[in-house]
């Protein structure tokens, strides 16, 4: 994670590999999740656009169209690289991709207007049955073996619709319907509105005990400091507003991309994993999870630096370390990794994170070396920095977080 991953390398896949691939349904809720997160994940692992099903939940047609355009552009690029043929918007298979995405997506309202989380929640309540029916249809028709949900808290749509949708999906989960893995982002503490809205999401997650993973943007600041070192971090003070979000988006897409890849190709993991292997994490009731990750181009570097990189690469902190965690770690490297690394990782989660059940698995795919972990067992009421607006200016806060003042 601490280095930029090389351009995703899309290879012509063998027929076999595609035949046995599992299919996931990936649902993004709200504009940032669909336009920024999902597009970046797709750029990281373009296979998801070819093999998985994607559903966008929005309250504005305009935003939905933008999200579809963004994904279509990634699809077009990946398709060209994969088949060495260019394809334009009106042509198969891009036209089919766009059509599918439109069919699978849901507009809770037409013209936006989810100006507060309560309004977003109201729209969802009205369309709840239609949303669930559509998901059921996709699950049955496309033989979906896992569901991933992505949403950003802070504004009107993602804040409450994400936990409410997760609640519905968990209630429906059973033999014929996979449980969801929900990833919910917590905003920077910069803007008052983001924070007061996020509080509503956390309250909902705590009160309704919604199993999910929280990804706190604020942790990106310390990750950035560790990654870039003080010198570059200073330059970070001049970074443009979108770059502040981009550095998180990059890391999140690495973890989720690796995870989705491993679940898609679970049978190529060693040991093989399957969707139900994520269930034991959720037995720690009333807690939430988060993600950790690290990436290095070279094996020497990952062997030397993984521990420090993971200590500094976690996306949620609580004031007290969890007394028990459960988790799953995927090491993804096309070139292979040493058994020592897998063994040390397992020991790290047992010793440093009190993991009582931790599945460490290895996936022989892709360039470089990625370690991606799902870690569960954090108390959502102890998140630090607290989910409270900070009066200090953005520049001051960045300086402090980056260790410059
Ligand atoms: N500006 C910006 N905000 C982001 C980004 N990623 C996540 N966010 C956060 O996402 C939150 C929700 O925004 P959005 O998804 O657009 O709202 P929604 O469509 O009403 O759910 C915002 O409050 C931001 O804190 C990003 O790349 N850029
Ligand atoms: Mg929006």
- b/e code 19-37 from CB counts within 10 Å (16+ = b): eebbbbbbbbbbbbbbbbb
- Substitution candidate for ligand 1 out of 37, 112, 154 with most atoms within 8 A of CB: 154
Residue nearest to atom 23 of ligand 1 (CA): 154
Query: Using an 8 Å Cβ cutoff, are 288 and 213 in contact?
Result: yes
Give the span between the Cα atoms of 350 and 164, in whole angstroms.
33
Q: Report CA(16)–ligand 1 centroid distance (Å).
A: 39
Name every residue whose Cβ is closer than 8 Å to that of residue 9 and which is 6 or more positions away in sequence: 366, 367
- pLDDT reported for residue 4: 47
Structure-token pair, residue 236: 């970070």
Cβ–ligand 1 distance for 31 under 6 Å, the answer yes
Q: Is the CB–ligand 1 distance for residue 155 below 6 Å?
A: yes
Is the CB of 401 within 6 Å of ligand 1? no
- Ligand 2 geometric centre to CA of 347 (Å): 42
Alpha carbon 395 to chain centroid distance? Answer: 27
Q: From ligand 1's centre to the CA of 154, what distance in Å?
A: 6
The pLDDT value recorded for residue 20 is 52
Residue 60 gets which letter from DSSP? B
Residue 299 Cα, ligand 1 centroid: separation in angstroms? Answer: 35
Query: Which residues, 6+ apart, have CB-to-CB distance to 279 below 8 Å?
Result: 179
Measured CA to CA, the distance from residue 183 to residue 149 in angstroms comes to 6
Q: In what order do the strands lie in the sheet with 325-332?
A: 106-107, 53-58, 23-29, 144-152, 180-186, 213-216, 288-296, 369-378, 325-332, 355-363, 269-270
Burial of 88 (0-12, 13-18, 19+ CB in 10 A): exposed
CA angle 120, 123, 127 (to 5 degrees): 140
Rounded to whole angstroms, how far apart are CA atoms 388 and 194? 10
Which residue owns the Cα nearest ligand 1 atom 15? Answer: 32
> Ligand 1 centroid vs 315 CA: distance in angstroms?
17
pLDDT for res 201: 98
Q: Closest ligand 1 atom to the C-alpha of 63?
A: 19
Tracing tokens 């579809």 back to the chain, one arrives at: 68
- Residue 152 in contact with ligand 1 by CB distance below 6 A: yes
Q: Which ligand is nearest to the Cα of residue 33, counting in written order?
A: 1
Please count the other Cβ atoms lying within 10 Å of the Cβ belonging to residue 367.
15
Give the mean pLDDT per block of 10 residues along the chain (405 residues). Answer: 44 46 91 94 88 96 96 94 82 93 95 91 97 97 95 97 98 97 94 95 98 94 75 68 78 85 84 92 97 94 96 95 97 94 97 97 92 97 92 75 68
Measured distance CA(124)–CA(131) in Å, rounded: 8
| Residue recorded with tokens 């979108």 | 242
Cβ–ligand 1 contact at 70 (below 6 Å): no
- Centre a 10 Å sphere on the Cβ of residue 169 and count the other Cβ atoms it contains: 24
CA distance 286 to 299: 38
CA distances from 235 to 83, 149, 194, 378 (A): 40, 34, 26, 33
Q: Tell me which DSSP letter residue 57 carries.
A: E
Q: What is the CATH number of domain 21-211?
A: 3.40.50.1440
Residue nearest to atom 10 of ligand 1 (CA): 152
The pLDDT assigned to 239 comes to 67
User: In sequence order, which residues have a C-beta less than 8 Å from that of residue 367 and are 6 or more positions away?
Assistant: 5, 6, 9, 297, 334
Burial (Cβ within 10 Å: 0-12, 13-18, ≥19) of residue 86: exposed
> Using the 8-state DSSP alphabet, how is residue 14 labeled?
P
Q: How far apart are CA 390 and CA 190, in angstroms?
A: 7
Tokens of 330: 């995927």
pLDDT on residue 87:
82
Q: Does a cis peptide bond (omega within 30 degrees of 0) precede residue 271?
A: yes
The whole-angstrom separation of Cα 386 and Cα 132 is 34
Which of the listed residues 67, 109, 155, 217 should we mutate to test ligand 1's pocket, taking the one with most ligand atoms within 8 A of CB? Answer: 155
Ligand 1 centroid–CA 374 distance in Å is 23
Angle among Cα 174, 177, 180 to the nearest 5 degrees reads 95
Name the residue of 112, 152, 221 to mutate for ligand 1: max ligand atoms within 8 A of Cβ: 152
Picking from 160, 150, 276, the residue whose alpha carbon sits closest to that of residue 208 is 160
């Amino acid at each position: 994670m601490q280095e930029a991953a090389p351009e995703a390398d899309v290879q012509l896949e063998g027929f076999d590999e595609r035949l046995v691939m599992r299919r996931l349904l990936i649902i993004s809720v709200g504009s940032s999740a669909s336009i920024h997160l999902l597009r970046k994940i797709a750029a990281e692992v373009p296979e998801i656009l070819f093999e998985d099903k994607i559903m966008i939940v929005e309250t504005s047609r305009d935003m939905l169209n933008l999200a579809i355009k963004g994904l279509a552009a990634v699809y077009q690029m990946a398709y060209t690289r994969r088949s060495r043929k260019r394809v334009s918007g009106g042509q198969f298979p891009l036209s089919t991709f766009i059509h599918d995405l439109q069919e699978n997506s849901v507009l809770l309202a037409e013209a936006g207007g989810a100006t507060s989380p309560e309004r977003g929640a109201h729209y969802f309540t009205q369309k709840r049955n239609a949303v669930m029916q559509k998901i059921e249809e996709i699950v049955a028709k496309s033989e979906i073996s896992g569901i991933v949900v992505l949403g950003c808290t802070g504004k009107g749509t993602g804040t409450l619709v994400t936990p409410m949708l997760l609640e519905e999906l968990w209630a429906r989960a059973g033999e014929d319907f996979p449980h969801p893995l929900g990833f919910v982002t917590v905003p920077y503490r910069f803007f008052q509105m983001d924070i007061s809205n996020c509080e509503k999401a956390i309250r909902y997650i705590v009160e309704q005990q919604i199993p999910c993973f929280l990804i706190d943007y604020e942790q990106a600041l310390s990750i950035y400091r560790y990654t870039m070192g003080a010198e570059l971090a200073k330059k970070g003070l001049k970074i443009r507003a979108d770059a502040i979000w981009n550095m998180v988006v990059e890391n999140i897409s690495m973890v989720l991309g690796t995870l989705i890849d491993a679940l898609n190709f679970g049978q190529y993991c060693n040991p093989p994993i399957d969707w139900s292997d994520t269930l034991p994490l959720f037995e720690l009731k009333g807690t939430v999870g988060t993600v950790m990750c690290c990436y290095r181009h070279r094996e020497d570097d990952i062997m030397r630096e993984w521990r420090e990189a993971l200590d500094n690469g976690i996306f949620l902190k609580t004031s007290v370390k969890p007394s028990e965690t459960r988790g799953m770690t995927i090491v993804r490297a096309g070139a292979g990794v040493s058994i020592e690394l897998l063994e040390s990782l397992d020991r790290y989660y047992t010793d440093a994170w009190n993991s009582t059940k931790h599945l460490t698995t290895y996936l022989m795919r892709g360039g470089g070396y990625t370690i991606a972990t799902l870690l569960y067992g954090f108390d959502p009421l102890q998140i630090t920095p607290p989910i409270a607006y900070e009066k200090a200016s953005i520049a001051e806060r960045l300086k402090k977080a980056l260790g410059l003042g």
